[in-house]
Amino acid sequence: MTNFENRPLLRKAVEDTIALSEEPHSNSSPSTIGSFQRVPGGCISTAARVTLVDGRQYFVKSSHNDLEIYEAEHNGLDAIRATQTLTVPKVIGMGRTKCGYSFLVLEAIKVGCTTANSNAEFGRSLAQMHRKTQTNRFGYSQSNFIGSTVQLNTWGNDWQTFFVENRLRPQIKMAQNQALTTRLFDQYADQLLSRMGDLLNDSSSPVLIHGDLWAGNVIVSTDGQPVLIDPAVSYSERESEFGMTTLFGEFGPEFYEAYNECWPLMDGWQERVKIYQLYHLINHLNLFGHSYFEPCMNILQQFA
């Protein structure tokens, strides 16, 4: 069941949002939803592909979460689009109904099949985005979300300090507050945080990263182009982008080969990337519970 089946106010709000996005004096049919199909996946929003009576299609996400989650998503998509390197869906609009449902309306992408060529194209384009967006500070203009967890983006000049204070420490504290850790976990975590300056590079410029780059957040369109969704952007050390790519739904070898042809990663990145995996694993521990405890402990023990 989608939210549209029992939320007429939501349905009407989405129709009105689509209508407002159209060109003035458009001769198109009224923006009336004719049908909708639930799209599986995701743990925050209900997602559906809606088809208007005239055949136009849109992708709609809705939930009882605060609208700021969708506002941050909109901002991240705009930031990636502005680089002119990678494709993202166009944002049609967003809003909140009187009954408290927030929603985001996006361009619907016609989905094709992932191939070796699309993986390679994605690797090249991601490297181009990273190279093109080099800057001088880590962080972002606003905090955003990794899943439903707030992701702090306070500006900083030092990557190790930024990663500790804006990424790992908040996640560790959250896990401790939820009684998801043990004394040994806490001991290893303290040791790791104190050693971060010895473990991570601080030699490259901050770059714009997607931030939540697992296979489920990359769609291949029917013309073979990779399309990114659900960003958690920041200006970060580019190696941190690969924490999720190497953790959930790995990309093919063509992706990494193409990336390295365009902008080679520094020696040892495969080992350092485990620390970036830890950020996402502790977030999953906080969101989904104890099944992620052992993967977190394995990395903590390795680097503590």
Pairing of strands 102-107, 33-39: unpaired
Count CB neighbours of 180 within 10 A. Answer: 18
Domain 116-303 has CATH 3.40.50.1980: no
Which residues participate in catalysis according to the annotation?
Answer: 212
pLDDT by position in tens, the chain (length 304) = 456 667 889 999 999 999 998 765 455 567 889 888 888 766 778 899 999 999 999 999 999 878 999 999 999 999 999 999 999 999 999 999 988 899 999 999 999 999 999 999 999 999 999 999 999 999 999 999 999 999 999 999 999 999 999 999 999 999 999 999 999 999 999 999 999 999 998 777 899 999 999 999 999 999 999 999 999 999 999 999 999 999 987 789 999 999 999 999 999 999 999 999 999 999 999 999 999 999 999 999 999 9
Segments making up each domain of the chain, as ranges: 3-107, 116-303
DSSP states along the chain: --GGGT-HHHHHHHHHHHHHHSPTT--SPP--EEEEEEE---SS-EEEEEEETTS-EEEEEEESS-HHHHHHHHHHHHHHHHTTSSB-PPEEEEEE-TTS-EEEEEEPPPB----HHHHHHHHHHHHHHHHHT--S-BB-SS-EEETTEEE----BS-HHHHHIIIIIHHHHHHHHHTT---HHHHHHHHHHHHHHHHHS---S--EEE-S---GGGEEEBTTS-EEE-S---EEE-GGGGHHHHTTSSPPPHHHHHHHHHHSPPPTTHHHHHHHHHHHHHHHHHHHH-GGGHHHHHHHHHHH-
State the greatest distance between any 2 C-alpha atoms of the chain, in Å, as a whole number.
66
* Total residues belonging to the chain: 304
pTM of whole model > 0.75?
yes
Domain 3-107 has CATH 3.30.200.20: yes
